[in-house]
Amino acid sequence: MLQTATLEFFRELRQNNHKEWFDQNRSRYEKVKKDYHQLVGRLLLQMQKHDRDLSMLQVKDCIFRINRDIRFSKDKSPYKTHLGIILTPFGRKLEFAGYYLHLDEHEGSFAGGGCYMPQADALRKIRREVSDFYEDLAEVLHAPGFVKTYGDLDRDEGMVLSRPPKGFDANDPAIEYLKLKSFTATTPLDASWLSDPDGAEQAASLLLELKPFLDFLNRGLRADNL
């Protein structure tokens, strides 16, 4: 999936995360970027075969810059030491649920997707869809492929309300999902995937298990139900 030289670049970057080292190794980074873009293109091609919502995407719509936003962070390291791939309908500029692949040899890689920390209007739309069509959501989340790969939606600490959100009843059958602040599902990837020649295809098969869930979220996000 990734070239050995790409993995080695990030191993060294973790130990030398400063501008001087990066400038000295910029030619190596250009090769890393090319490898990254080729991987994204390969994954995107696989995903577009099965999800028409991604048909208009190009590689440039799915990648991230290596520079970190350090304005509000205590960690002032200027560069990311992982690669991310995001596949969202119509690109990253519009707020829809999408697929995400996180590649990090050191801290751990994962595949997943959904809608992470949506803005207030989008969050209300999702919650209304969950409440009004909970049977549809339950069918999606209980599908054997989803359960085997993802188990359930993520419930990270701090991402769940202690009380029902405003406007929703505590007795709503969907209440445990309505309390979520993010609607995502993730599954870890073994480090061996990073260098597996068939890694992109295998990652696509995992991500596509999320398609019915993303379709559910995006149906709500497209609705004029505020």
Residue 132's alpha-carbon distances to 98, 126, 127, 175, in angstroms, are 22, 10, 8, 12
The Cα–Cα gap between 26 and 32 comes to: 10
The Cα–Cα gap between 134 and 177 comes to: 9
Kindly report the pTM of this predicted structure.
Answer: 0.94
Q: For 147-189, what is each residue's pLDDT tens digit?
A: 999 999 999 888 999 999 999 999 999 999 999 999 999 999 9
- Write down the pLDDT at residue 223: 82
- Write down the pLDDT at residue 78: 96
- Write down the pLDDT at residue 191: 86
- The b-or-e profile of 89-110 (16+ CB within 10 A means b, else e) is bebeeeebbbbbbbbbbeeebe
Q: For 17-43, what is each residue's pLDDT tens digit?
A: 999 999 999 999 999 999 999 999 999
| Percentage above 70 pLDDT, the chain | 98
Residue 226 has pLDDT above 50, yes or no: no
- Write down the pLDDT at residue 144: 97
Grade residue 93 by pLDDT with cuts at 50, 70 and 90.
low
Name which residue leads in pLDDT, 200 or 224.
Answer: 200
Q: For 70-87, what is each residue's pLDDT tens digit?
A: 888 888 999 999 999 999
Lay out the sheet containing 109-115: strands in order across.
Answer: 83-87, 98-103, 109-115, 183-189
181 and 116 Cβ atoms separated by less than 8 Å: no
Tokens found for residue 31: 């090769």
Placement of tokens 């599902």 in the chain: 185
Q: Where are the domains of the chain?
A: 4-222
Rounded average pLDDT over 4-12: 97
119 and 179 Cβ atoms separated by less than 8 Å: no
